[in-house]
């Protein structure tokens, strides 16, 4: 087979600011380099987003039920395989149930990539993902720990589940100490957290931990990188960010905590990660099945201190980082202090982390997706079954 096959990704997409949109853009950009597949996007729009990328072939209106049926017709007309990037909250209807009507009207195979796999879903959440998974040809998860949950809680046939890791960029940047100088961080121990800010990130515990560490390491700087999540800003404005700033002030570490209030480009994210000594994710929920920010940190070979949500446990095993207790700044501070006091151990962790990160680069991830897509397309016949 020499012709390029058309594969569409149903997802949010830039300019919408969310991790799923960034993930899809990165994956589409990399798959576009592969000769076998021509990628398109069916963009899930919540408002009046205007898309500049010519690969956006169809614009789906998130809360318009009829739009899902029209999208299915467009996909059937032009596409060989559809990839649904599934996340709760981006599709219309209760728990995103409109997506079920779209897939029931497909005449081509489709793959589901799960970005959230809840251990304790609501009845409706469970029903939607179960039906989506059962109707799909294959279901992709980015974490091994999600496989038994998908099989047990959601009733997905284990043979249908494929594990492909979250991709990470591969960009050349300067050496850590040189980067620190250019960002006015010379001779600082840099800890960072990045992503769209929301109360679920637990950043207050990170700030409290830094306040405890500063007693022994006065040159610690904690970078909190990113804008407030649009949905959070819509609901409570900037009150969460302000509460974090007030906390730093109250704990006497205003000069040790820096906020970068912007939606970072991938290049900026990678530079900040490379100048960091420690990456910290003090998330509050054990349910976090995947974290793009943690994946990026691993890709850059950074030492990670994290609360023990599922993805962190998987990624930081075998001495690739340190796990702290949930909602426990003493535990976070203890991990950070250990790393700063043991530079040789820190270097050992970085090398172990980087070895895993190299297998997660977008080119490797795109190759695995492409192989999966071609195998499905070649084995599919109009009756709906996968052959071989």
40-47: average pLDDT: 94
Packing angle of the helix pair 329-341, 343-357 (nearest 10 deg): 100
What's the pLDDT score for residue 49? 83
Q: Is the pLDDT of residue 63 over 70?
A: yes
Tell me the C-alpha to C-alpha distance, in Å, between residue 184 and each of 190, 215, 229: 11, 22, 27
* Reported confidence tier of residue 258, pLDDT bands at 50, 70, 90: very high
Query: What is the distance in angstroms between the CA of the first residue and the CA of the last residue of the chain?
Result: 17
Domain 176-359 -> CATH class: alpha beta
* Reported confidence tier of residue 384, pLDDT bands at 50, 70, 90: very low
**Chain-wide mean pLDDT for the chain?**
93
What's the pLDDT score for residue 256? 97
Domain ranges of the chain: 5-167+361-379, 176-359
Top-confidence residue, 368 or 16: 368
Digit-coded pLDDT (tens) for 297-312:
999 999 999 999 999 9
* Reported confidence tier of residue 1, pLDDT bands at 50, 70, 90: very low
Digit-coded pLDDT (tens) for 120-170:
999 999 999 999 999 999 999 999 999 999 999 999 999 999 999 999 988
The DSSP 8-state label assigned to residue 254 in this structure reads G
3-state secondary structure of 8: strand
> pTM score, two decimals?
0.84
Tell me the C-alpha to C-alpha distance, in Å, between residue 234 and each of 229, 238, 263, 329: 9, 9, 16, 29
Domain 5-167+361-379 -> CATH class: alpha beta
Q: Is the pLDDT of residue 388 over 60?
A: no
Q: Is the pLDDT of residue 47 over 90?
A: no
Digit-coded pLDDT (tens) for 336-347:
999 999 999 999
* Reported confidence tier of residue 35, pLDDT bands at 50, 70, 90: confident
Paired tokens of 162: 């494929």
Question: Same CATH fold, 176-359 and 5-167+361-379?
Answer: yes
Which range has the worst mean pLDDT, 76-90, 171-185, 235-249, 332-346? 171-185
Contacts 24+ apart (CB under 8 A), 237-246: 240/197, 240/198, 240/199, 241/197, 243/204, 244/197, 244/203, 244/204, 244/207
* Reported confidence tier of residue 353, pLDDT bands at 50, 70, 90: very high
Percent of the chain with pLDDT over 70: 97
């Amino acid at each position: 087979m020499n012709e390029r096959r058309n594969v569409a990704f149903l997802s949010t997409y830039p300019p919408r600011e969310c991790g799923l949109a960034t993930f899809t853009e990165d994956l589409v950009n990399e798959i576009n380099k592969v000769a076998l597949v021509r990628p398109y996007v069916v963009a899930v729009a919540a408002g009046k987003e205007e898309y500049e990328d010519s690969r956006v072939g169809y614009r789906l209106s998130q809360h318009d039920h009829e739009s899902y049926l029209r999208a299915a017709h467009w996909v059937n007309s032009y596409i060989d395989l559809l990839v649904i990037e599934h996340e709760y909250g981006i599709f219309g209807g209760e728990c995103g149930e409109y997506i079920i009507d779209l897939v029931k009207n497909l005449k081509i195979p489709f793959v589901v990539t799960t970005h959230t796999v809840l251990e304790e879903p609501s009845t409706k959440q469970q029903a939607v993902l179960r039906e989506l998974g059962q109707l799909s040809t294959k279901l992709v998860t980015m974490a091994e720990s999600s496989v038994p949950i998908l099989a047990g809680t959601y009733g997905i046939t284990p043979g249908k589940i494929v594990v492909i890791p979250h991709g990470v960029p591969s960009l050349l940047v300067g050496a850590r100490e040189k980067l620190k100088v250019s960002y006015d961080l010379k001779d600082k121990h840099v800890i960072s957290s990045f992503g769209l800010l929301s109360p679920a990130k637990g950043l207050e515990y990170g700030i409290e931990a830094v306040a405890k560490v500063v007693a022994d390491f006065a040159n610690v700087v904690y970078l909190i990188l990113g804008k407030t999540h649009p949905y959070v800003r819509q609901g409570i404005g900037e009150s969460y960010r302000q509460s974090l700033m007030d906390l730093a002030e109250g704990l006497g570490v205003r000069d040790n905590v820096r906020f970068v209030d912007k939606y970072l480009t991938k290049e900026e994210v990678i530079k900040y990660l490379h100048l960091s000594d420690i990456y910290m994710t003090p998330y509050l929920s054990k349910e976090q099945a995947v974290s793009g920010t943690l994946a990026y940190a691993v890709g850059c070979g950074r030492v990670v201190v994290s609360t023990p949500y599922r993805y962190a446990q998987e990624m930081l095993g075998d001495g690739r980082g340190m796990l702290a207790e949930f909602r426990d700044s003493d535990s976070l501070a203890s991990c950070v202090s250990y790393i700063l006091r043991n530079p040789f151990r820190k270097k050992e962790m970085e090398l172990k982390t980087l070895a895993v990160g190299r297998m997660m680069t977008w080119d490797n991830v795109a190759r695995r997706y492409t192989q999966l897509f071609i195998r499905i397309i070649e084995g599919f016949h109009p009756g709906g079954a996968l052959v071989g």
